[in-house]
Amino acid sequence: MSQSSPDISPPISPPMSPDEVVITCALTGVLTNPAQHPVPVTPEQMAASAREAFDAGASVMHIHFRAQGAGKGHLPSWDPLVAQAIAEAIRDACPGVILNFTTGTIGRDQQGALDCLRAGKPEIAACNAGSLNYLKARSSGQWAWPPMLFENTVDKIEELLNVCREEGVRPEFECFDVGIVRSVGMFADVGLVERPNYNLVMGVASGMPADSELLSILPRYMKEGALWQSTLIGREEIWPVHRKTAELGGHLRTGMEDTFYLPGGQRASGNGELIEALVQVAQQAGRTVVSPERARQIFL
């Protein structure tokens, strides 16, 4: 009588409870001037700020890279050595943390972002899932900056997804409008991704507004059972939309990339204070903030 082969299947994670929520901290963003705002730049600053957010309840750190050196911290960087140094510093400071790297480039060339993914080996990569006319108008009737196209064509997205597959990185689809939400479903339909996860970016002037009523209908346009979270750009007016996200079952994100303001309108001192406020929003909505270990089971 032959012996059956041993079961070597990986253990199945327990299904996510509806009350569980993963919190992400967006540490620094793209161009914010550290001389004017409390945004971290160096690996040491990024690690210290991440630790504050980690202690407050964030399990995921969304990371942009800045040029290093005096007077350069307001400029972006795609230096893979910078990405690697920041990743190592944050992982040392926050045991078990999940890293989420930006990959956003205005034009078609994203080689720097791909190099940073390979160097820093994050668990998650933010995949901008569609193009957007990136606009903002001032009250004077002038453009806040020259109109630009944030170019994210399907071939660019597919190139990024291929690298994610090679490196074992989970893509997170950044959706700036409803059409992009629907496009992510088509990415799954044609086999570009198996289980899409959505990040609803609301509050960009030429994208979806940070509107609780709009948020309420967006889940119907996502793949059934998909993980999703909201990223809300703005001032104190975004906090009721965070609350709606929590009530609808979405995961939560905030940080100095997204806002400088607490729910009462006061300026935040840093990422730790913003995450503390978001944890309160989650708890008031009946959600339980999970540990980094549990966040890994849910997100990865």
Q: Residues 6 or more apart from 213 whose CB is under 8 A from it?
A: none
| Closest among 226, 202, 235, 271 to 40, alpha carbons compared | 271
- Say what the pTM is: 0.94
Mean pLDDT of the chain: 94
Handedness of CA 67, 73, 124, 227 (dihedral sign): negative
Using only C-alpha atoms, the chain has a radius of gyration, in whole angstroms, of 19
* 56/232 Cα distance (integer angstroms): 19
CA distances 292 to 25, 44, 177, Å, are 13, 21, 30
How many Cα atoms are found within 13 Å in the side-chain-facing hemisphere of 218? 33
pLDDT at 241: 98
243 located within any domain = yes
pLDDT at 6 over 80: no
93 located within any domain = yes
13 located within any domain = no
CA 71 to chain centre: 27
83 located within any domain = yes
The pLDDT tens digits of the residues spanning 40-68 come to 999 999 999 999 999 999 999 999 999 99
109 located within any domain = yes
pLDDT bucket at 31, cuts 50 / 70 / 90:
confident
- Domains in the chain: how many in total? 1
pLDDT at 13: 59
Q: Domain containing 103: what range? A: 20-299
The pLDDT tens digits of the residues spanning 184-231 come to 999 999 999 999 999 999 999 999 999 999 999 999 999 999 999 999
pLDDT at 12: 56
List the CATH number of the domain containing 204. 3.20.20.70
96 located within any domain = yes
2 located within any domain = no
Q: Residues 6 or more apart from 156 whose CB is under 8 A from it?
A: 108, 110
**Residues 242-277, buried b or exposed e (16+ Cβ, 10 A)?**
bbbbbbebbbbbbbbbbbbbbbeeeebebbbbbbbb
Higher-confidence residue: 8 or 285?
A: 285
- The single-letter DSSP state of residue 236 is G
pLDDT at 8 over 90: no
Q: What is the mean pLDDT of residues 257-268?
A: 97
The pLDDT tens digits of the residues spanning 86-137 come to 999 999 999 999 999 999 999 999 999 999 999 999 999 999 999 999 999 9
262 located within any domain = yes
* 135/127 Cα distance (integer angstroms): 20
Percentage of the chain modeled with pLDDT above 90: 92
Percentage of the chain modeled with pLDDT above 70: 95
Which stretches of the chain are DSSP H helices? 43-56, 80-93, 111-120, 154-167, 178-189, 212-217, 239-248, 271-284, 292-299
Taking each helix axis from N to C end, the angle separating 271-284 and 239-248, rounded to the nearest 10 degrees, works out to 50
pLDDT at 10 over 60: no
pLDDT bucket at 9, cuts 50 / 70 / 90:
very low
- Lowest model confidence (mean pLDDT) among 10-14, 29-33, 144-148, 211-215: 10-14
